[in-house]
């Protein structure tokens, strides 16, 4: 990891440790922790990490931002950091300056579409949009008769139906009805809905991997503290076996997510190799979220299911992140289509090249 990567991650981790302690947040029923955390992140320039300096951002590299998202996952951060970073990245592709404040992207599912009318207005419905309720602006990918465009939209112009995912974070439905954007420009070649979904999928994969790392640490610590039948439960073979399985799921998720992030950071376009890495990462990390979360709760027993314990902050968010920007079943089908379209003779060279 480069020195700049360390600086970004260390800055973020210090902020998270000071202002996003999971137990403190768990006990805060009024969500008074959110404003100070967002202010600190904003002052450090982290939400606009992927926005160049001349467009109002921090100008960090893709690798820096991906490392930041992994760190955010380790703290199960429930603010629109990843969403604002993605929105800033999307706007930057069209050389649109990013405003201050929380943002999110539309659409957040490969099955939804926003259309650009002849008069420049945007219309469409986007479901499962993370933190739409908290956003001040939307970064919108829209389809028109002349191709794909990227727009900055005032969130107040859209109709938002509140919803919650399984992690109790906002996952809302946004409807745009002939909304005029603040700014709109044509998307450059190679930037389309698929590339947005791949970027979002890798972001979620890194967050899932971070959450699994935290769940492993919490479970190991608990097993060394909990005593049953006059010895620590970490001494029981069944518990050791479960912890080994959890470590395996965590390692697999981290390997898949970081490999995909590295592929995007070093690629010039969203080619088939990047597609393979990103889709595979979302599939594998989603599977790990389900298996790893179940194992962690099994190690903790009944206490792990109580609202007072912090474990559910990680496991439920990891499960919720599985569905954002395309579920594992969606990407499994799409990956199968890619492999089939290339033909049997191309499968091994494509896999072996990664």
Same domain, 260 and 322: yes
Same domain, 270 and 240: yes
Of 188, 213, 234, the one marking the end of a domain is 188
Instruction: Read off the CATH number of the domain in which 344 is found.
Output: 1.20.140.10
Residues 234 and 282 in one domain: yes
Listed in sequence order, the residues at least 6 apart from 248 whose beta carbon sits closer than 8 Å to its beta carbon are: none
Tell me, yes or no, whether 90 lies in a domain.
no
CB atoms within 10 A of CB 166: 16
- Say what percent of the chain tops pLDDT 90: 84
pLDDT at residue 201 is higher than 70: yes
- 34 and 71 in a single domain? The answer is yes
CATH number of the domain encompassing residue 122: 2.40.110.10
Per-residue pLDDT band at 1 (split at 50, 70, 90): very low
Asked whether the predicted pLDDT for residue 4 surpasses 80, the reply is no
* Domain end call among 155, 188, 221: 188
- pLDDT band with cut points at 50, 70 and 90 for residue 349: confident
Would you say residue 91 lies in a domain?
Answer: no
Q: What is the number of domains present in the chain?
A: 3
CA distances from 347 to 259, 261, 262, 271, 338 (A): 19, 22, 21, 15, 10
Which residue, among 107, 108, 86, 73, has the nearest Cα to 324 in the 3D structure?
A: 108
Whether 94 is covered by a domain: the verdict is: no
pLDDT digits (tens, 9 = 90+) for 124-177: 999 999 999 999 999 999 999 999 999 999 999 999 999 999 999 999 999 999
Task: Give me the pLDDT at residue 344, please.
Answer: 84
- Look up tokens 């001040």; give the residue: 136
d(CA 212, CA 235) in angstroms, rounded, equals: 22
Evaluate whether residue 331 is within a structural domain: yes
Examine the domain organization and report whether 200 and 345 are in the same domain: yes
- Does one domain contain both 204 and 232? yes
Mean pLDDT of 67-76: 96
Nearest CA to 223 out of 244, 250, 252, 207 is that of 244
- Whether residue 202 sits in one domain with residue 172: no
Domain membership of residue 270 (yes or no) is yes
Domain containing 50 equals 1-77
Please state, rounded to an integer, the average pLDDT across all residues of the chain. 94
Pairing of strands 114-116, 103-106: unpaired
* Ramachandran area for residue 226 (φ above 0: left; ψ -120 to 50: alpha; else beta): beta
The verdict on 183 and 244 lying in the same domain is no
Angle subtended at Cα 13 by Cα 166 and Cα 56, rounded to the nearest 5 degrees = 90
Using 50, 70 and 90 to split pLDDT, how confident is the model at 2? very low
Q: What is the pLDDT of residues 10-53, one digit of tens each?
A: 999 999 999 999 888 988 888 899 999 999 999 999 999 999 99
CA 227 to chain centre: 37
Residues 198, 54: one domain?
no
Nearest to 75 by CA among 15, 30, 130: 15
Q: Kindly state whether residue 224 falls inside one of the protein's structural domains.
A: yes
Write out pLDDT tens, residues 276-305: 999 999 999 999 999 999 999 999 998 888
| Residue at 87 is within a domain | no
* Domain identity same for 45 and 71: yes
Measured between alpha carbons, how far is 37 from 45 in angstroms, rounded to an integer?
12
Q: What are the residues whose beta carbons fall under 8 Å from the beta carbon of 55, sequence distance 6 or more?
A: 91, 92, 95, 96, 97, 98
The 3-state DSSP class for residue 95 equals coil
Percentage of residues in the chain having pLDDT higher than 70: 98
Separation of alpha carbons 239 and 228, rounded Å:
12
On whether both 218 and 346 belong to a single domain, the answer is yes
Point out the domain boundary residue: 168, 188, 208: 188
Q: Is residue 89 part of a domain?
A: no
Q: How far apart are the first and last CA of the chain?
A: 20
CA pair distance 11, 142, nearest whole angstrom: 35
Same-domain pairing of 110 and 157: yes
pTM for the predicted model, two decimal places: 0.95
């Amino acid at each position: 990891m480069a020195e700049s990567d360390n600086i970004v991650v260390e800055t973020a981790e210090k902020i998270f440790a000071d202002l996003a302690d999971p137990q403190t947040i768990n006990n805060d029923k009024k969500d008074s922790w959110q404003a100070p955390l967002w202010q600190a992140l904003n002052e450090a320039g982290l939400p606009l990490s992927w926005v160049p300096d001349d467009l109002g951002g921090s100008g960090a590299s893709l690798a820096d931002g991906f490392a930041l998202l992994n760190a955010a996952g380790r703290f199960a951060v429930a603010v629109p950091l990843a969403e604002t970073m993605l929105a800033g990245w999307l706007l930057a592709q069209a050389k649109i300056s990013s405003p201050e404040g929380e943002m999110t992207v539309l659409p957040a599912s490969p099955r939804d579409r926003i259309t650009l009318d002849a008069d420049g207005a945007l219309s469409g419905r986007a479901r499962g949009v993370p933190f739409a309720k908290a956003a001040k602006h939307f970064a919108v990918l829209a389809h028109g008769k002349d191709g794909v465009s990227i727009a900055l939209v005032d969130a107040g112009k859209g109709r938002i139906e509140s919803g919650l995912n399984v992690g109790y974070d906002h996952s809302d439905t946004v409807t745009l009805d002939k909304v005029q954007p603040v700014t709109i420009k044509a998307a450059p070649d190679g930037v389309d809905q698929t590339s947005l979904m791949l970027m979002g999928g890798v972001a979620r994969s890194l967050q899932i991997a971070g959450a699994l790392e935290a769940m492993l640490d919490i479970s190991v610590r608990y097993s060394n503290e909990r005593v049953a039948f006059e010895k620590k439960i970490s001494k029981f073979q069944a518990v050791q076996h479960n912890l080994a399985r959890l470590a395996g799921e965590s390692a697999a998720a981290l390997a898949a997510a970081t490999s995909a992030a590295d592929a995007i950071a070093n690629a010039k376009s969203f080619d088939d190799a990047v597609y393979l890495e990103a889709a595979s990462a979302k599939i594998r990390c989603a599977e790990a979220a389900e298996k790893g979360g179940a194992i962690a709760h099994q190690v903790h027993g009944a206490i792990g299911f109580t609202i007072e314990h912090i474990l559910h902050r990680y496991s439920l968010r990891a499960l919720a992140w599985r569905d954002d920007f395309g579920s594992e079943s969606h990407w499994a089908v799409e990956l199968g289509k890619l492999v089939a379209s290339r033909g049997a003779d191309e499968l091994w060279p494509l896999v072996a090249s990664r």
